[in-house]
Structures are given as structure tokens and as C-alpha cells.
A and B are shown apart, each in its own frame.
Chain A
């Protein structure tokens, strides 16, 4: 359409030639001679060049032609001033790169859908994050996690879903060994999924075939899908893997296919599944701890595909009815509490295109903070480059005014200056993409250092590139608009005048404003990084209630090695003896989970002699299971009574050690020793006798700013027989202790290899999942906070440097343009101190204004950080005044350099320089 109208210049000239011929014909007819007629015709036509020019300007594509012209011109000019160009591009690259790096993460974690077909058609049943196992017949805020039985009920009774698939909410560690391989089993991460899982996502196998409903039948030959990552990294894309037999937890599975490279499962998480197994094979793999047949054990997420145009609300209503029906058919298995709130149980359908968004919830807050911080840095960068551009504009005043005097239109000059800014910012953006790539990789490395394979790619994707391009354009216009407007405000007369003689400091106001803005923003960033660092320091140096030195935590998985519950006691005894015999080991103890390991179990507490507890948080306590000597090994003092010892055997009375928080919560001022409590049901309320109280120790990796919650510890050697199958299963699972804590003697050096050898001596097939010092384990719980604090500090320092450069630039420019005046002043008797003071005064005023603007912004920023500060004062005066001091100091240095330079001006030289 646009091109149809474009008429070649030659056609236009031809028309003019035709005109001349016709006009000459006419004139000849009026009696003029041939020669006269030709000349008259040409005269009547007027100026041909102007006509041609007008024709050219009427082109719709003129702006493009002019833009390329301006861009070429800008490039030429930028090449001529390499120092300016490199500084500006580097500054821009830092700002754009930082923002793009953070955006890459924001995009991957918060905005992106799963890499599956038509993700907008997916709906999740449930809206809460309810990982990973929930044993009850009620769920607050709607059912979000489901048992296999409930899933089957919903799947078979709901109309409207193309497919409704279920999958494990978390994963399972698997011991995997290829058939006939000489190597020992290796640990991989697997997920149990329903047979229609891949069909529901619309994902077909990369090679081989996907799982089908036929694989997900009791008695079907066990089949599994391998992830592309494992196929590539472990098996070098060997095609014989497909159809090959792999022993998974010592059960033979056939690998029927490989998932596509981009597919990371249903949940963006730091450890995507390596194997997908049908739900029906779960009893085969998990043996004694299988959950598949437990109707009241909820461990599955559900996502369904809804055809376009389906009424999701009415499907939701149907499913609520089905849920109620299902619950009513299980009334017999419920306790009184669940029965009471049964009618209130409901469920919700929520958009499922992004999968299960656990990472989104976990990282949303800090990504928002980082995005804001990066935005601030970009603003400062804009201000800095704008300042550079203004200086450049000042230097070009002569040329600009000459252009104006020669008839250049103001709009054209503005456009030219703006084009230069945009060209510069695009160059900066190009360099910024490189910085963003490196930055994202670095952040991913630090954020997920302990993880195997985060499915977040640092390489820029199309949306990220578009973002970088857009932000570069915006930046270019942002820092270019003022300088280019200033360029058009040049008086042509100035070209004729010696502009050096003018006293007006044209354009100093916008530059000063920019410096004020920079100072204010820097103060905000510096204070924020101070606050976050202080909050982190507080967290790390709090009293954890246990000792960290000389302790190593070894995470093992006896389930993978195929141990039965009845073999466990002897296993842990052998592990203890083998590790304790290493020279330099002081003591060894095992527990279900160690402090700050990330694991946690809880139970509703039934008190002997008190009414049945309501299902509320006040009646819940965390539970851990430990071997004798645990409290000494972990350095958790017993403040009352005794710890768990060798005397607590399977035959003796069941005992428990509680923490102080438990005593406070359930006994107030009563003496807890000798009291009884239990779990599961009122009939077990007399089960445990409290024999000791341990000092409060911080086990949980969250709520770090809140008081420690109630905990109780029970011996590994004792077990209660529960009637409810789900509780009986939990009791069995809780006897598989995962963490072995090894305490070294003071001064002894324990090697990781020694520990591995000692464990291999017990059972070479038992995998060591993880081994780290307890202090490492504690500090890795703060990884997220540390990363925010460090990145904010980095951005804060960057802001400080940029603001100082900005102030230096303004001051140096002032000195430069006042050389004359300073020379005169010195000739008239001003001494050096006065000159320094004169220059400093200007800088101090700017910074003072910046601080005045920055302090309220900082207070607002403190509120914005809110919960990330873990209870420290959001407007901590010490930190804010510290930030002010740092800013003032570096500003002073930035201003002193040009001030001293000014004071060394020789009056004679200054006056002669003109």
C-alpha cells in the first residue's frame, strides 16, 4: 500500500519534460519562434531544482532517508570522540545489562508459560501451594493437593477436560543403574506422573514414545521416560537407551522414550526430574513407603486441558460437588475435626499455563526488589549520559548556531541530536546484552549453587532481546530529549559573537538537576543495600541454639538402597560404629532431619487429660526423630531432665524430649517432665512421656525473624502402631533417618573421603546424597537474602560511582567555563582556599539538595523492602546516616579534584587564554 504511491524521480522529470514540450507547442502557436517558445516555457515552469526538491520531500519515506542520514552522521561524530563514546557506551551497557539480566530472571520465573502446546488451555485444580504430602481429609483454602483415589474420582466423573493429569507434587530420589552395568547405582530425581501426563501437556517424546494410559495400569510392564539432559549428559545421546532396561530402586524399567530438551516438567524448579514414571509403578519403587493406595494421603497435583470455549466456572462447580461426594464416602476414615468441617471443603480451578508456580511464589518478592533496584541504576545511567550529552551539546553550540543561521530547521536539529542519543543507546544496549548474559549466568550460579540443573537459560530469548531493544530506545530518548531540546534553543547570533565572552551559563540548570537526581537515587540504593546487608548479618549471627563448628552433615537415603523398616535399627548402629571409628571423630548421631536442612515434619498434638485439639496452628508441633547422643552431637543443650539415650529401646516406655517453645505453648508454667502426649488420635494421647526439655534451636529455614516454634524429638528405636493406615505409613517413613551428624574433635581434620569410605564399608549401595558442614548448611539457607544484599550492594556501589562521576563532570565543567573569572579573582587577591571554597560551594549545594530529596525516598524504600528486612528498623538512622556519609564523602572527593585544579590556575595564563 505504502509502496504503490512511490513514484520514481525519473517519471516526474519525464512529466516536466512533457510539460515543457506542450507549453512550447502552445507558445509557438501564439506566434513565437522555436527558440523563444522553448525559453518562455522553461521560464514559466520556474525553478526546476525546487520542484524536484519538493517532490523529494513529499515522499512518505523521507523520515527514513533522513534517519539513516542522521544515524550515519551520528556514527561519524561518535567515532571522532572515542573517549566520550566509549564512556557513554560502557555506562549504558552497565545500566541496560543490569536491567536486562534481572529481566531475564523475571521473565523466566514470573512471566513465562511452560514450554508445552497451547499453555493457555491448561487449568490447575487448586490454587494454593501445598507441597508435598498432606495427610487429612480437609484442606484450608480449598483442595490443592490430592490422593490418587481422589484424583481418579475427579478424573472419571468430570466432563469437559480433554485430559486431566496428576503428578507428584515434589519429586523422588531414585537409585538408577543400567542393566548389566558394572557401575553402582547412581542417584537421580524422578517424578511419578499419570499415564496421560504427556498427552495432557501436548508434549510428544523427543525420540521413542511418551507414556500412555496403557503404561499406567497395575500389572503393566514398568516403563519410564528419561529427560533429554540425562540422555545427553550421561548417555551421550546413545540410541540404544530407548528400549533399554534400567534398574530403578532395583526394579527393572524399560525406557520407552526421551522427553524433549525444552521440557522440564510441570514445575519450574531448581532440580527438574530426570525420570518420569507412571503413578501405578509407585508401589513397586517405594515399596513400604508407597502412598498410592492411601485415600487420605494427598501428594498429587492436578492439571487439566480445557478445550477452547468450555465453561470453566461450571466445571469448577461440578468438581466441588464431586469432591463433597468423595469426602462423604470416606467419612469412616476421618477424625472428628475433619467431619466437622467437611461441608466447608471446596476446590478452585486456576490458570495452569505456567505449571505449578512454586518458584514464582518463592522468588517474586526479591525479583521485584531487584527489578526496582536495576531500574534505579538505569535511571542514574540515563542521568549520567544525559549529562555527558549536555556537555557535548555545549561544545557544539558554535556549530549548531551556524547551522541555524544557515537555515536548518529546529525540528531537524532536535531530530539529529535525538538520533545520536538513540544510536548511542542502541550501541550500549548491544554491549548490554553481553553483560546481561554474563550477569544472568553469574546470578544463576550464585542463587542455585547447590542445584544440579536450573531450567532457566541465561541466553537471551526473543522477549528478552525485545526488552533490551525497547529499554535501549527508551533510554536513548530518556537521556537525549533534554540535550537535543537544548540544541534547538541556540541563538543563531551566537555564532557571530565570541561565545566565550558570554556570562550566561546556559544549560547548567538541567545538568545540576540531573546531579541532584543521581545523588538522591544513589542514597536510596546505598541505604537499601545497607539495610539488606544488616538484615542478613542479623540473621546469620543470631543464636541458632545449636553449635555449628566441627560438625558435618551427611545426607543418606536408605530407601534407595532398598532397606526395610525392620533393618533400620541395625543399619544406623553400623553407620554409627563405622563413622565413630574414624580417628578424630568425637561423636556420631542420626536424625530424620538436621537443623536448617530444609526438611520439616509436623503433627497435631493430643494432650493426655485435655480435650481433643482443634485443627489449628496453635495445636501443631514439629517432630524430629533422633538416635542416642543426638543433642550432644548437634550441641543443643538440655535445660531440664535428660536427653534421649541408649536406654530408650523399642521395649521401654515411649519417651519424648520437647523444646522450650513446646513447654511454653502447651504447659505454660507447669512442669512438663513426666507429662504425656501423643499424635494421630486422642487414644494415643498417653503415648509419649516427656523426659527432657532442650533449648530452643532453629530448625526451620523460614520464619527466621519469628520465635522458634514448638518441637519434640522421639527416639529412632521406638515406634507406635497406629490403626489409621495413613498414620501407620507416616510412622514407618519417619524411621528412615536421612541426616547423619558427625562431630570432629577440636583440631581434628575430617576428610570427606574418609567419611565416604566409612559409609561404603557399611553398604556400598547406599547413596550419599549430600555432604556439607553444618555451618555451610546454615549459610545456604540465607542464599537468597545474601544474593539480594550482594546485588543491591553492587548496584549501590555502581550508583555511587556514577553519581560521583556526574558531580565531577558538572564541577569540572563549571571550573572550565569559569577559568577566566577565577583568574580575575586570583589576580584581585583571592587565595587558593577561597577558590577551592568557591568551587566546592556549588558542589555541596547540589549534594545537599540531592540528600534532601533522597531521604524521604529512602524512607519509602525501607517500607518497600518491608518483610525482607526481618524485623530490623526500616529507617535505621545509623544505616541511613552511614549511607549519607558515604555519599557525601565520595561527592567531596569528586568535587575536590576540579576544585584543586581551579586553585592552581595561574591568573596570567587564565587571562591570556582567551
Chain B
């Protein structure tokens, strides 16, 4: 059973992660792995985001129409899903 404090902590964490993602995307479209890596770099390796946790956050932001996503190709011909800030973000 979830207690009250736990619920709050999860909410806080989610908000922070969202903000981190949005900050990265200010510099231009980026894919999930790139965002994860950027967060890690930006915080000088202090913040080690579990990459798996990143995707539900991206999913949520996309649902809220803060970011949009599109499949694209990298220079090395690998496929990736690129996220871009929308006008409403």
C-alpha cells in the first residue's frame, strides 16, 4: 500500500525529470538516448537517470503535447525517435 509521503515523492521526482528533459530539448531535437546522455553530462555524472524511467516521462510529455516525436535517421544510418519542443511547451 502506498503511503502519503511516497506518493508525493514520486510526483516531485517526475516533475524534476520532466524539467530536465525540457531543458535538454531547448537546444534542439534529440532522441531518448541522447537526452539520457545529456542529462548525465549536464549534471557532471551526478545524476544517473535510469534510462528506462526516461521513456514513460517522454511519453507523458508527448501526451501533454509539450513535445512531439518523429522517427528519423542518424548520420550513421541508425534509426531513432527524435523529440522536439512544441509551441505550447
* Complex contacts, A47 vs chain B, CB 8 Å: 52
The distance in angstroms between the C-alpha atoms of A58 and B57, with both chains bound, is: 10
Of B2, B33, B52, B60, which one neighbours A22 at CB under 8 angstroms? B33
B1-41, CB under 8 A of A: which get 1 and which 0? 11000000000000000000000000000011110110000
Of B59, B74, B76, which one neighbours A55 at CB under 8 angstroms? B59
* Complex contacts, A5 vs chain B, CB 8 Å: 62-63
* Complex contacts, A46 vs chain B, CB 8 Å: 50-53
The distance in angstroms between the C-alpha atoms of A228 and B18, with both chains bound, is: 70
The total of chain A residues at the interface (CB under 8 A) is 29
Of B2, B51, B81, which one neighbours A45 at CB under 8 angstroms? B51
Is A901 an interface position by the 8 A CB rule?
no
Residues A25 and B76 in contact, CB atoms below 8 Å apart: yes
A45-80, CB under 8 A of B: which get 1 and which 0? 111101100110010100000000000000000000
Residues B78 and A22 in contact, CB atoms below 8 Å apart: yes
Please name the residue on chain A nearest to B37 by beta carbon.
A26
Residues A55 and B1 in contact, CB atoms below 8 Å apart: no
Known A25-B78, A46-B50, A404-B1: A19·B56 in contact at CB below 8 Å: no
* Complex contacts, B79 vs chain A, CB 8 Å: 14, 18
* Complex contacts, B74 vs chain A, CB 8 Å: 22
The distance in angstroms between the C-alpha atoms of A7 and B63, with both chains bound, is: 10
Is A315 an interface position by the 8 A CB rule?
no
Known A58-B60, A58-B63, A404-B1: A18·B55 in contact at CB below 8 Å: no
Known A18-B81, A22-B33, A26-B33: A58·B59 in contact at CB below 8 Å: yes
The distance in angstroms between the C-alpha atoms of A588 and B12, with both chains bound, is: 98
The distance in angstroms between the C-alpha atoms of A266 and B35, with both chains bound, is: 74
* Complex contacts, A22 vs chain B, CB 8 Å: 31, 33-34, 74, 78, 80
Of A55, A407, A410, which one neighbours B55 at CB under 8 angstroms? A55
Is A16 an interface position by the 8 A CB rule?
yes
Docked complex: A665-683 residues within 8 A CB-CB of B:
none
* Complex contacts, B37 vs chain A, CB 8 Å: 23, 26
Of B52, B63, B80, which one neighbours A48 at CB under 8 angstroms? B52
Nearest CB of chain A from residue B14's CB, rounded to whole Å: 11
* Most B Cβ at <10 Å: residue of A16, A19, A45: A19
The total of chain B residues at the interface (CB under 8 A) is 24
Is A21 an interface position by the 8 A CB rule?
yes
Residues B50 and A21 in contact, CB atoms below 8 Å apart: no
Interface of B is mostly: helix
* Complex contacts, B2 vs chain A, CB 8 Å: 409
Residues A12 and B55 in contact, CB atoms below 8 Å apart: yes
* Complex contacts, A335 vs chain B, CB 8 Å: none
Residues B1 and A19 in contact, CB atoms below 8 Å apart: no
* Complex contacts, A60 vs chain B, CB 8 Å: 63
Of B50, B51, B53, which one neighbours A23 at CB under 8 angstroms? B51
The distance in angstroms between the C-alpha atoms of A623 and B53, with both chains bound, is: 94
Known A44-B51, A45-B51, A46-B51: A15·B56 in contact at CB below 8 Å: no
* Complex contacts, B34 vs chain A, CB 8 Å: 22
Residues A45 and B52 in contact, CB atoms below 8 Å apart: yes
Please name the residue on chain A nearest to B56 by beta carbon.
A54
Nearest CB of chain B from residue A841's CB, rounded to whole Å: 39
Please name the residue on chain B nearest to A57 by beta carbon.
B56
Known A15-B81, A25-B76, A58-B60: A50·B52 in contact at CB below 8 Å: yes
Nearest CB of chain B from residue A34's CB, rounded to whole Å: 15
Residues B31 and A18 in contact, CB atoms below 8 Å apart: yes
* Complex contacts, A407 vs chain B, CB 8 Å: 1
Residues B78 and A15 in contact, CB atoms below 8 Å apart: no
Residues B55 and A51 in contact, CB atoms below 8 Å apart: yes
* Complex contacts, B36 vs chain A, CB 8 Å: 19, 23, 44
* Most B Cβ at <10 Å: residue of A7, A16, A45, A47: A45
Residues B56 and A55 in contact, CB atoms below 8 Å apart: yes
The distance in angstroms between the C-alpha atoms of A26 and B34, with both chains bound, is: 10
The distance in angstroms between the C-alpha atoms of A421 and B51, with both chains bound, is: 42
Please name the residue on chain B nearest to A26 by beta carbon.
B37
The distance in angstroms between the C-alpha atoms of A817 and B33, with both chains bound, is: 61
Of B1, B50, B63, B76, which one neighbours A410 at CB under 8 angstroms? B1
Known A5-B63, A58-B63: A19·B50 in contact at CB below 8 Å: no
A16-35, CB under 8 A of B: which get 1 and which 0? 10110111011000000000
The distance in angstroms between the C-alpha atoms of A25 and B78, with both chains bound, is: 10
Other than the given A19-B31, A51-B55, 20 more pairs (CB < 8 A) read A5-B63, A12-B55, A12-B59, A15-B32, A18-B32, A19-B33, A22-B33, A22-B34, A22-B74, A22-B80, A23-B37, A26-B33, A44-B36, A45-B52, A50-B52, A54-B55, A404-B1, A407-B1, A409-B1, A409-B2
**A–B Cβ pairs within 8 angstroms, 29 of them:** A5-B62, A5-B63, A15-B32, A15-B80, A16-B55, A18-B78, A18-B79, A18-B80, A19-B31, A19-B32, A19-B33, A19-B36, A22-B74, A23-B36, A23-B51, A25-B76, A44-B36, A45-B52, A46-B50, A50-B52, A51-B52, A51-B53, A51-B56, A54-B56, A54-B59, A58-B59, A58-B60, A409-B2, A492-B1
